[in-house]
Amino acid sequence: MSHRSAWEEFDLTESEVAATMEDIYRRGDSLMSGFLFMHLIFALVLASFYQTWMLTLIVSCAALLMFFMSKWLLPRTFITRCFAGVALQTFVALHIYQMHGLPEMHFTFFTAFTMMIVYQDWRSMWPGTILIIAQHILFAILQNTGYNIGFFPDPVITISKLVFHFGIALVEVGICGYWSVLLRRRTLEGAYQRAQLNNNSALLQVQLEKTLLSEKHLQEQTEQLLALQKDLERANLDLMMRATTDGLTGLNNHREFYESLTEELARSKRNSSCLSVIMIDVDQFKCYNDEFGHPAGDVVLKTVASLLQEQARESDSAARYGGEEFAVLLPETNASDASGIAERFRYAMEIYPWAGAPVTASFGVATASAGTVDASRLISEADRALYQSKHRGRNCVTHFADSTCEEGDRHRTKAAFGSARFPKSAIELAS
Catalytic residue among 172, 256, 264, 324: 324
φ/ψ bin of 146: left (φ > 0), alpha (ψ from -120 to 50), beta (otherwise): left
- Contact (CB, 8 A) for 132 and 93: yes
Q: What amino acid is encoded at 40 in this protein?
A: L
**d(Cα 86, Cα 249) in Å, to the nearest integer?**
107
Q: Classify burial at 404, counting beta carbons within 10 Å of its beta carbon; exposed 0-12, middle 13-18, buried 19 or more.
A: exposed
**DSSP conformation class of 362:** E
**d(Cα 64, Cα 34) in Å, to the nearest integer?**
11
SS3 399: strand
Residues with Cβ < 8 Å from 41, sequence gap 6 or more? none
Q: How many residues does the chain have?
A: 431
Please say whether the dihedral angle defined by the alpha carbons of residues 159, 165, 166 and 168, taken in this order, is positive or negative: positive
**d(Cα 364, Cα 426) in Å, to the nearest integer?**
13
**d(Cα 109, Cα 101) in Å, to the nearest integer?**
13
Helices (H), 317-420: 335-351, 375-391, 407-417
**d(Cα 90, Cα 170) in Å, to the nearest integer?**
17
Question: Can 324 be counted among the known catalytic residues?
Answer: yes
Q: What amino acid is encoded at 387 in this protein?
A: Y
Q: How far apart are the first and last CA of the chain?
A: 105
SS3 425: coil
**d(Cα 169, Cα 106) in Å, to the nearest integer?**
10
φ/ψ bin of 242: left (φ > 0), alpha (ψ from -120 to 50), beta (otherwise): alpha
One-character DSSP codes across 250-264: -SB-HHHHHHHHHHH
β-pairing, 397-399 vs 361-369, is: parallel
Q: How far is CA 116 from CA 28, 168, 238, in A?
A: 8, 17, 88
Known catalytic residues?
Answer: 324
